[in-house]
Structure formats: C-alpha cells, structure tokens
Amino acid sequence: MIVDRQGRSFRNLRVSLTAACNYACTYCVPDGKRLVAAQDELSAEALVRAVAYLIEAAGIERLRITGGEPLVSPRLEPFLQGVRDLGLVEIGITTNGQLLARKLPILIDAGLHRLNVSLDTLDAGRFREIARGGDLRTVLDGLQQARAAGLKIKLNMVPMRGQNLDQVLPMLEYSLEQGFELRFIELMRMGHLARDASAFQQRFVGIAELLELIGRHHAYVQADAPLDATALRYEIPGRGFFGVIANESVPFCRTCSRLRLSSTGWLHGCLSSTNRHYIGDLLDKSRDEALPALQQRLLRALADKQEVAFSGGATIMKIIGG
Ligand code: SAM
C-alpha cells in the first residue's frame, strides 16, 4: 500500500466509465452542450484490468462507477461483470437515474447493492432548467423500481441559491418517506465555476445555512460516519438519516482516500489539482511489468492531494468522475 506523510492512502476508486452524459447540468457544464464520449476511451476489458492492478498496487477496497453518465455507456455491463469477482468490499454506481428503469436488470444481475442517484429538484420545470436534459417523471419511476428491487439508494442534491434552495425541504421529506438517504453536496468550484467566482458565490449554500433551514422543521442529531467518509451524517430520530458533503465549509482533505480514473486512462489523485497520470500504456502489460510502474505513478498522484482544504479545480466533474 502507498501512504503519504499524513498517513493517507488510496482506498476508494472512482472510475468514470464515459465522459458522455445525457444531461448538461448548469453547475457541471457551462454552455448547455452535452458531452460526447472521447474518441480514446478505454475498452471495458482495459478498465477492468486497470481496477485489478489498482487493487493490487494501491490497496483499493471500494469502487464507485461514475461519469459522465455511466448508464449511457455500452461498456456498463461488461465492466460490471468484470469487476464483480475482484474481491472488492463494495461496488456502487452514481447515476442521474434517467435510464435506471431500463438498466436495472443489468445492475441487479451484476449483484450491485447500492445506488447514488443525483436529483436536484422535484419540480419538473426546474428539473429541465438545471439538468438541461432528461425528464423528472422517468427518474422518479426508475427510483421506485430500484427500491422495489431491494437496492439501497442515496440521493445526491446540490442546493443552489436562486435555483433549488426551496427544494431542500421537499427533497428531504420525499427521501425520508421513501427510505432514501439524501446527501446535500455543497456546490464545488469546479470547471467554469472555478473561473467565475461571482457565479459561484451567488449560488453557493454552505452547511451552516442548510442545517439552520432544516432545523426549523426537523429536530436532528449528528450521527456516526466512518473516519474517511466525505459526508457528515445526521439523524432525524424516528424518520431517517441525511448527510452533507461540505467540501467548502468542512474540508475533508486530511482524510481523503479517493483516487479517480478517467475513461481515457488518466489517474487523478485530487480534484483540486490539474495534475494527472496516464496508465493506459500499462494495461496491456503483464502484472509483473505493470505493477512497479503503476506504483510510481500512484506515488505521484498521492503527492497531488491538498494538505488541508479543497480549493476548486479547472477540470469539469464529468471528465474525471464526480
Ligand atoms: N451522471 C452521474 C450523476 O449525475 O450522478 C455521475 C456523474 S456527476 C458529475 C456526479 C455528481 O457530481 C453529481 O451528483 C453531480 O451533482 C455532482 N457535481 C457535478 N458538478 C458539481 C459541482 N460543481 N459541485 C458539486 N457537485 C457537482
């Protein structure tokens, strides 16, 4: 295992299966254009080999499949089938849920237990304004079917002033009723928001304001979370849990154990760094040849991590897997 001076190592891997997405969320892409898959995206087999090598070289325990939108990729099924027998403690997927109902059999067949679905509003008009693609009803239907199939579901919501702040309480109520754990993600200074400080400041809603808003309607207490968890967890006794990922207000860089792999074979050790390390050239090599070189690149990726606080990054989230 590779460990830095602060005792950090890579244990959680996020693989962006594709940069393509059927949405163009306002906070993710600036111009409303949906991103298409890069020409040089790796095959499912190469990505599976990358995961296998990273498990050995870095000690990865948990895998999250993301994107872009992972459910639009034809590589989803072979990738899931390939990684299911690698001995990972957990495999999860982050999706916008638009294709959830259609792809559910593939997820269940691969033995997937957990699902994070991004949903920023329960208002159909607002949904179209923020996502600039897709349809709210289809997502809600997919969620019902996934729940009926026994999947454990978390919802991700990015609260933004002037866009969906009034949706915080309806989203919380809906999640509590459905048995989903809602996680509020503080808006991050990524991509175009890293360059436009005033657009970011206008929309940003921090954890203090969020908890104050929730506290006016619900009595909540802080709940336990694993040491390297990114979310602060809260319980509304008798009703359920919610979480806040407070990248800006309560940075978790000191305990960050995340590594990201793009669909084109680049490792990213830190969201706040533009450094990246190519590993596509190692994937047709034997294990003995690939692992020493991979370890060198992992050391460099680990050195990219911020010491204390997240400071934003120029890369678009969907390229490196949000
Ligand atoms: N398409 C999938 C989805 O929608 O969940 C996976 C990729 S998406 C980039 C992953 C997550 O990143 C989503 O929950 C999205 O809300 C979040 N995200 C993207 N840009 C963000 C930003 N600037 N600040 C906070 N969260 C962001």
Centre of ligand 1 to C-alpha 286, Å, is: 35
Centre of ligand 1 to C-alpha 113, Å, is: 21
| Candidate from 18, 22, 27, 28 with most ligand 1 atoms within 8 A of CB, to mutate | 28
Percent of the chain at pLDDT above 90? Answer: 79
Please tell me if the CB atom of residue 315 comes closer than 6 angstroms to any atom of ligand 1.
no
Residue 70 in domain? yes
Centre of ligand 1 to C-alpha 317, Å, is: 7
Residue 77 pLDDT grade (very low, low, confident, very high; cuts 50, 70, 90)? very high
Atom 12 of ligand 1, nearest CA residue: 322
Locate the ligand 1 atom nearest the alpha carbon of residue 66 and give its number: 6
Centre of ligand 1 to C-alpha 81, Å, is: 25
Q: Which two structure tokens, joined as six digits, stand for 9?
A: 């190592």
| Candidate from 66, 95, 130 with most ligand 1 atoms within 8 A of CB, to mutate | 66
Which of residues 237 and 196 earns the better pLDDT score?
Answer: 237
Q: What is the reported pLDDT for 307?
A: 75
Centre of ligand 1 to C-alpha 68, Å, is: 9
Residue 42 pLDDT grade (very low, low, confident, very high; cuts 50, 70, 90)? very high
Please tell me if the CB atom of residue 256 comes closer than 6 angstroms to any atom of ligand 1.
no
Single-letter amino acid, residue 280:
G
Please tell me if the CB atom of residue 41 comes closer than 6 angstroms to any atom of ligand 1.
no
Q: What is the reported pLDDT for 321?
A: 60
Q: What is the reported pLDDT for 233?
A: 96
pLDDT in tens, 118-167: 999 999 999 999 999 999 999 999 999 999 999 999 999 999 999 999 99
Residue 1 in domain? no
8 phi/psi in degrees, rounded to 5: -85, 145
Pick the closest to residue 45 from 80, 69, 73 (CA basis).
80
Please tell me if the CB atom of residue 230 comes closer than 6 angstroms to any atom of ligand 1.
no
Q: What is the mean pLDDT of residues 75-98?
A: 96
Residue 4 in domain? no
pLDDT in tens, 219-240: 999 998 876 678 999 999 999 9
Q: What is the reported pLDDT for 226?
A: 74
**Vertex 148, ends 144 and 149: CA angle to 5°?**
120
Q: Which two structure tokens, joined as six digits, stand for 22?
A: 């059927």
14, β-bridge pairs = 64, 260
Q: What is the reported pLDDT for 69?
A: 96
Residue 6 in domain? no
> 105: domain range?
12-320
Residue 187 in domain? yes
Please tell me if the CB atom of residue 95 comes closer than 6 angstroms to any atom of ligand 1.
yes
pLDDT in tens, 244-300: 999 899 888 888 999 999 999 999 999 888 899 999 999 999 999 999 999 999 999
Residue 2 in domain? no
Please tell me if the CB atom of residue 66 comes closer than 6 angstroms to any atom of ligand 1.
yes
Q: What is the reported pLDDT for 190?
A: 87
* SS3 assignment, position 242: strand
What's the helix, strand, coil split of the chain in %, to 5? 35, 20, 45
Q: Which two structure tokens, joined as six digits, stand for 16?
A: 């962006």
243, β-bridge pairs = 183, 233
**Which range (195-209, 212-226, 305-319) has the least confidence?**
305-319
Please tell me if the CB atom of residue 127 comes closer than 6 angstroms to any atom of ligand 1.
no
Q: What is the mean pLDDT of the chain?
A: 93
Residue 149 in domain? yes
Pick the closest to residue 232 from 210, 213, 262 (CA basis).
210
| CB neighbourhood size of 199 (10 A) | 16
Q: What is the reported pLDDT for 306?
A: 81
The CA–CA distances, whole Å, from 221 to 155, 231, 234 equal: 20, 14, 6
With beta carbons less than 8 A apart as the criterion, state whether 15 and 47 touch: yes
Residue 322 pLDDT grade (very low, low, confident, very high; cuts 50, 70, 90)? low
Residue 261 in domain? yes
Which parts of 23-149 are beta strand (E)?
Answer: 62-66, 90-95, 114-118
Please tell me if the CB atom of residue 94 comes closer than 6 angstroms to any atom of ligand 1.
yes
Please tell me if the CB atom of residue 247 comes closer than 6 angstroms to any atom of ligand 1.
no
| CB neighbourhood size of 67 (10 A) | 31
State the total domains in the chain: 1
What is the CATH number for 66? 3.20.20.70
Q: What is the mean pLDDT of residues 110-114?
A: 89
Q: What is the reported pLDDT for 173?
A: 98
Pick the closest to residue 64 from 243, 187, 293, 230 (CA basis).
230
